[in-house]
Amino acid sequence: MGEILQLLVYGLVTGGIYALGAIGVSLVFAILRFAHFAHGDLMTVGAYLALFGITTLGLPLMPAFALGALLTALLTVAVDRLLYRRLRRNGAVVLLVSSFGVALILRSLVQLVWGPENLVYGTAIVPPWRLGELRIRPVHLAILVTGVVLVTALHLFLTRSRIGKAMRAMADDPDLARIAGIPTERVVVWTWLLAGGLAATAGMFLALDTRLNPLLGWNVLLPVFAAALVGGIGNVHGAVVGGLVLGVASELSTAVLPAVYKPAVAFAAIVAVLVWRPRGLLGGR
Amino acid sequence: MSLLEARGLRGGYGDTDILRGVDLVVGPGEIVVVIGPNGAGKSTALRALFGLVRLRAGAVRFDGHDITHRPPESRVRLGLAYVPQERNVFPSLTVEENLQMGAFVRRDDIRSDLERLFELFPVLAERRRQRAGTLSGGERQMVAIARALMTRPRLLLLDEPTAGLSLRSVDVLFARIAAVHREGVAILMVEQNARKALAMAHRGYLLVGGANRFEDTGPALLAHPGIAEMFLGG
């Protein structure tokens, strides 16, 4: 029982990280109608930009993370302005393939600047808190709390703010959004800012929990997409649920399966959802 | 001076032109109705006025500005509003959010306009927190029209507002459109219920084959023997 509970905690942390990535994938899909394959590598870039803040600028962890998220968000918008915007008329397939190219470019740049070896943020090793049999690492608690805060903030943004409502309107019907006089390009910029910032946060959390590596984000792209699909692509709340379900399922699987099969859980989840509930748990498009 | 003036519109979506020379003029505070057989290009003409059709020739002037090449957003700012026939509400947004989206281009306080429109469409006030996708066809049309009115337009373009509605809803909706007009909004609409629409119109256009065929006052069109026989169901 204790072991299961412990895996559950790990699962929630992993799931929270997946969820932050999956929200961006879902938002981009809802508003721009294409699967953004560079999302994993945006996570990587975010993690390394935070490292730049810590080692080069000598910032403490939190400001470095904020800087990493901000710079990644701006970089994501720049990629859209330079590339995706010009290809928008050419359809979803062209955008998808071009995002593959962006993924490779970003990954190569990271490797060029920081090298292929594993790196760490160099935070002090803090012994875990004990709650009976349960061991909770402070960093895990921080990840979970920040995740909850970010998701709550995003929910409020989408339901209360003008731009947030316009994002939902555009996800509903981009043509009508234009007809209603909504400046759709501005909505697109906001979408990329949020998606990029959240991806960076997911990447930094993942690096904090494990270590930095140029393949950091690429390696979790499959579970991140699976989370978006499981929750219902295009549905932000679904992405959160999908992320948590997938994180918990993949950690719990290690109780019965060798850990190398963890990625298979994501595959299994995609297949299961596509067969039995193609619109996802919470319903997407 | 006319509020809207479209001259010699030619164009369409692909290689073939749907519009082959359409002229439409609407004066301030006028109700103008466009009738014609299926495939006459009525809806396309309306979409062209809003910049949603590729025009090869012709010009659209609104309130003295040449808007032929302006994007929809800038037309909205000038006081032109368009309600498409279908897919004209944001289904996952509430009624109130739909209206707020109509007012996106505005920077001032929209609360008094919200309340004014809820008075004009009382049924929407009851449903303001309900998702637009759950409403009936007639209610959706009212949401769509109210959304378009949130910018305080001078001219409202309506594409077959009563299509698919029950007879009772048609009458309710026409009564609401008349009320909107009484507030000083000019209306240009394409309408299947040509008889009822012409009865409230100042002027009407008959389009055939993507071009103007006939133009007269509403009563004259209603009384015209040929038109009554061909387009008003005898």
| Count of other CB atoms within 10 angstroms of residue A76 | 30
Using CB atoms, which residue from A168, A169, A181 is nearest to B105?
A181
Determine the pLDDT at residue B173: 93
Alpha helix (H) ranges present in B79-136? 95-102, 111-120, 122-126
Q: How far is B147 from chain A (nearest CA, A)?
A: 8
Q: In what order do the strands lie in the sheet with B4-12?
A: B19-26, B4-12, B54-62, B65-66
Q: Domain for residue B126, yes or no?
A: no
Q: Domain for residue A127, yes or no?
A: no
Give the CA count within 13 Å in the CB-facing half-sphere of A120: 6
| Count of other CB atoms within 10 angstroms of residue B128 | 14
Complex ipTM over 0.90: yes
Q: How far is A175 from chain B (nearest CA, A)?
A: 9
Give the CA count within 13 Å in the CB-facing half-sphere of A35: 13
Rg (CA), chain A: 18
Q: Which two tokens stand for residue A1?
A: 């029982």
Q: Which two tokens stand for residue B36?
A: 């014609």
Task: Report chain B (234 residues): mean pLDDT per 10 consecutive residues.
Answer: 93 90 95 92 95 93 94 92 95 96 91 93 95 94 96 95 90 94 96 90 94 90 80 60
Q: Which two tokens stand for residue A23?
A: 């929200």
From chain B, the residues in CB contact with A165 under 8 A are 93, 97, 100-101
Q: Which two tokens stand for residue B41?
A: 């290009």
B93 and A172 within 8 Å at the Cβ level: the answer is yes
DSSP B161: T
Q: Residue A32 in 3-state DSSP? A: helix
Determine the pLDDT at residue B234: 43
Alpha carbon distance B183, B227 (integer Å): 31
CB–CB contacts below 8 A, A to B: 59
Q: Domain for residue A130, yes or no?
A: no
Alpha carbon distance B32, B27 (integer Å): 9
What does B18-85 look like in DSSP terms, one character per residue? SEEEEEEEE-TT-EEEEE--TTSSHHHHHHHHTT-SEEEEEEEEETTEE-TT--HHHHHHHTEEEE-S
Q: Which two tokens stand for residue A185?
A: 């390009």
DSSP A119: B
Alpha carbon distance B24, B2 (integer Å): 10
- In total, chain B counts a number of residues equal to 234
Q: Provide the terminal-to-terminal Cα distance of chain B, rounded to the nearest Å.
A: 36
A181 and B102 within 8 Å at the Cβ level: the answer is yes
From chain B, the residues in CB contact with A169 under 8 A are 90, 93, 97, 101
Alpha carbon distance B60, B2 (integer Å): 12
Q: Which amino acid is it at B119?
A: E
Query: Any idea what the CATH number is for the domain that residue B213 is in?
Result: 3.40.50.300
Domain span at B39: 4-87+154-231
Question: What is the arithmetic mean of pLDDT over A21-27?
Answer: 97
Query: Any idea what the CATH number is for the domain that residue A70 is in?
Result: 1.10.3470
Domain span at A228: 2-119+135-276
Helices (H) and strands (E) in chain A, counts: 12, 2
Percent of chain A with pLDDT over 90: 81
Alpha carbon distance B70, B47 (integer Å): 13
How many domains in chain A? Answer: 1
DSSP B89: S
Using CB atoms, which residue from A172, A180, A181 is nearest to B91?
A172
- Answer whether A88's CB lies under 8 Å from A34's CB: no
Element (H, E) at B181: helix B167-182
pLDDT in tens, A257-272: 888 888 888 889 889 9
pLDDT in tens, A173-230: 999 999 999 999 999 999 999 999 999 999 999 999 999 999 999 999 999 999 999 9
Q: Domain for residue A129, yes or no?
A: no
Determine the pLDDT at residue B233: 60
Q: Domain for residue B27, yes or no?
A: yes
Burial of A56 (0-12, 13-18, 19+ CB in 10 A): exposed
Q: Domain for residue B131, yes or no?
A: no
Alpha carbon distance B39, B20 (integer Å): 12
- Answer whether A246's CB lies under 8 Å from A227's CB: yes
Question: What is the arithmetic mean of pLDDT over A33-58?
Answer: 96
Q: How far is A280 from chain B (nearest CA, A)?
A: 17
Q: Domain for residue A284, yes or no?
A: no
Q: Which residues of B190-203 are buried (b: 16+ CB within 10 A; e: fewer)?
A: bbbbbebbbebbbb
Q: Domain for residue A124, yes or no?
A: no
Mutation site, A31, A167, A170, A179, interface B, largest B CB count within 10 A? A179
Contacts of B228 (CB under 8 A, 6+ apart): B222, B234
Q: How far is A163 from chain B (nearest CA, A)?
A: 9
- Answer whether A129's CB lies under 8 Å from A63's CB: no
- Answer whether B11's CB lies under 8 Å from B17's CB: yes
Determine the pLDDT at residue B223: 87
Q: Domain for residue B45, yes or no?
A: yes
- Answer whether A255's CB lies under 8 Å from A245's CB: no
pTM attached to this predicted model? 0.92
Q: Domain for residue A285, yes or no?
A: no
Q: Which two tokens stand for residue A263?
A: 């990625």
B102 and A179 within 8 Å at the Cβ level: the answer is no
What does A137-200 look like in DSSP terms, one character per residue? -HHHHHHHHHHHHHHHHHHHHHHHSHHHHHHHHHHH-HHHHHHTT--HHHHHHHHHHHHHHHHH
- Answer whether B136's CB lies under 8 Å from B180's CB: no
Question: What is the arithmetic mean of pLDDT over A63-67?
Answer: 97
Using CB atoms, which residue from B76, B91, B93 is nearest to A165?
B93
Using CB atoms, which residue from B52, B73, B147 is nearest to A183?
B73
A254 phi, psi to nearest 5 deg? -70, -15
- Answer whether B165's CB lies under 8 Å from B197's CB: no
Contacts of B199 (CB under 8 A, 6+ apart): B218, B222
**A89 Cβ under 8 Å from any chain B Cβ:** no
How many domains in chain B? Answer: 1
Q: How far is B51 from chain A (nearest CA, A)?
A: 9
Q: Which two tokens stand for residue B219?
A: 């009563």
Alpha carbon distance A190, B21 (integer Å): 41
**A177 Cβ under 8 Å from any chain B Cβ:** yes
- In total, chain A counts a number of residues equal to 285
**A240 Cβ under 8 Å from any chain B Cβ:** no
